[in-house]
Amino acid sequence: MINGICGVALRGTQALPVEVEVETTGGLFSMTVVGLPDTAVKEARERVRASLRRIGLMLRGRIAINLAPADLPKEGALLDLPMAVGLANGAGIIDCGEPSLFMGELALDGRVRWVRGAVPAAVLARELGVRIFVPKENEHEVALVAGVRAYGVETLLDVVEHLHGGKTLPQISGGSFGEEDECIETDMSDIKGQFAAKRALEIAAAGHHNLLLTGSPGSGKTLLARALRGILPPLSDEEMMEVLLIRSTAGLSFEPGRTRPFRTAHHTASSVAICGGGASMRPGEISLANRGVLFLDEFPEFSRDVLESLRQPLEDGTITVSRAAGSVTYPARVLLVTACNPCPCGYSGDPSEPCKCSPSSIEKYQRKLSGPILDRIDLHVAVPRLTPEELMSLSGESGESSTEIRKRVRSARKTQQDRWREVGFQCNAELPERVLRKRLNIDPDVKLFLAETVERLRLSGRGFSRVLRVSRTIADLEGSERVAVHHVAESLSYREGGAFGRGVGLGWRG
Ligand SMILES: [Zn+2]
């Protein structure tokens, strides 16, 4: 429970209450703020004082504002409005009455500006059972938080008049996540050929398997990655809320529609940009892609730091960012799609362009993608560049649309959710080894086939588990309760080495 006038501080996607206490004593004017970093205090003080002047309140005497708890890291701008309201309350202009949360940055003319974190703040208000005042510009996202008593304010005067009883602000309402939308930017039927890659995308979408696409420049890897978004099932209400909380925390506006997030990062991006952090500990691309797709092109060019830091979130579905000020954990459940060239020049195995790389440089390039991260990538697919003749012959064929593929994906997901609910998993890619081996439901002849395969291909324990997970998904797409030999055989074609091995004559290490 909170008392009186409160603001909020953000800690990850969570908002915490900050109590604003004001004390005024006689003497010359001075204003001290305790509980904020020095630089923020100075700026906040000027904004609060100027805005109060606009509503006719001239501050007098020695004023002390305490923002409690003192040890909680705070952001000055979020606390402008509660400080101004606290001062107006202290001066007797208004009587706040019931405990309330306020958030907003003040302009010198008294306007209340948009802030990040309005959604976590609204969730906090709901939990505490108190009303909240937010900037009018944040109104549309706060409206999506059901069951909260919230008011949108344009100016400090709005708040003062509302609390004084002069005018009543309307309560924010009427937000909705909307219906399922059929907005597909890149439709599968727009991509010519590439049947193997499209099939791999379908499997990835159905079982939430991470994917590596290998192909020469211009083979359409980026287009394929983008098309994945359109075949994924729509976000549920709970997932929408997660996405909304992260976007609000990052200071990004909410995109309407239930299409899953698609984020991409350049290989020069820092680990802070991808994993989150920095001074204000904001979420990174991997959290902005939560419940959707994170696409990393030219994967071997990413720094080792970044590749290393991806391991833990791919394992746990969350990422913890630590700084001196403490640590926060963000959701980071993504479908990772990576892409790379088959060699440094990009044309190894290409039908028309010769490769200029030496064997040793190719080996070095492939080794950059070594073990640990590849262990998390279930599907490896070659994306060959089509020759002009192939493109011509395919020009009349459009293939299946994303909507049709999505139907199969949704039904396979439903099967998995029903099957794994009791063990606490959502999809095949999440299954740990122990569950996998005990509950896979494979035919006896498959066991024999697998035993031979492990021997012949010298599969590692992890590699073997990957083959099993993908086999399970392929069987689910077919609507088959049992995993049969042809499911495993197809799964084996997506194992590591598949991408580089095909037509290129190179083995994959790792
Ligand atoms: Zn090359």
Give pLDDT, residue 396. 65
More confident site: 434 or 145:
145
Q: Flag whether 79 is in a domain.
A: yes
Hunting for tokens 């405990």 — which residue is that?
99
Q: What is the DSSP string of 214-226?
A: E--TTS-HHHHHH
- For the entire predicted model, the pTM comes to 0.90
Q: Flag whether 50 is in a domain.
A: yes
Q: Flag whether 110 is in a domain.
A: yes
Nearest to 169 by CA among 256, 100, 87, 121: 100
Please give the single-letter amino acid code of residue 366. Q
Q: Is residue 501 scored above 60 in pLDDT? A: no
Give pLDDT, residue 185. 83
Dihedral of CA atoms 406, 412, 418, 419 in degrees, nearest 10, equals -160
Contact 384, 197 (CB under 8 A): no
Q: Flag whether 506 is in a domain.
A: no
| Distance in Å from the first CA to the final CA of the chain | 54
390: confidence class by pLDDT, cuts 50, 70, 90: confident
CA 358 / ligand 1 centre spacing (Å): 7
Beta strands in 219-306 (DSSP E): 262-265, 276-277, 282-283, 293-296
Q: Is residue 297 scored above 90 in pLDDT? A: yes
CA 236 / ligand 1 centre spacing (Å): 44
CA 213 / ligand 1 centre spacing (Å): 16
Domain of 35 in residue numbering reads as: 5-164
Q: What is the mean pLDDT of residues 321-335?
A: 88
Mean pLDDT check: name the lowest of 328-332, 439-443, 485-489. Answer: 439-443
CA 345 / ligand 1 centre spacing (Å): 4
CA 217 / ligand 1 centre spacing (Å): 11
Give pLDDT, residue 386. 81
Please give the single-letter amino acid code of residue 314. L
Q: Flag whether 182 is in a domain.
A: no
Q: Is residue 504 scored above 60 in pLDDT? A: no
496: confidence class by pLDDT, cuts 50, 70, 90: low
Hunting for tokens 């070594």 — which residue is that?
370
Q: Flag whether 264 is in a domain.
A: no
> Taking ligand 1, which is a single-atom ion, which protein residues have CB atoms under 5 Å away?
343, 345, 348, 355, 357
Please list, in sequence order, all residues whose beta carbon lies within 8 angstroms of the beta carbon of residue 389, skipping any fewer than 6 positions away: none
CA 77 / ligand 1 centre spacing (Å): 52
CA 462 / ligand 1 centre spacing (Å): 30
CA 381 / ligand 1 centre spacing (Å): 18
Q: Flag whether 308 is in a domain.
A: no
Structure tokens at 398: 């459009």
Give the whole-angstrom CA distance, residue 191 versus residue 174: 40
Q: Flag whether 444 is in a domain.
A: no
CA 342 / ligand 1 centre spacing (Å): 7
Mean pLDDT check: name the lowest of 37-51, 138-152, 201-215. Answer: 37-51
Structure tokens at 328: 């926060």
Q: Any idea what the CATH number is for the domain that residue 127 is in?
A: 3.30.230.10
Mean pLDDT (the chain, rounded): 88
DSSP 18: E
Number of domains in the chain: 1
Q: Is residue 414 scored above 80 in pLDDT? A: yes
Give the whole-angstrom CA distance, residue 247 versus residue 423: 31
CA distances from 116 to 78, 120, 244, 304, 355 (A): 8, 9, 12, 32, 49
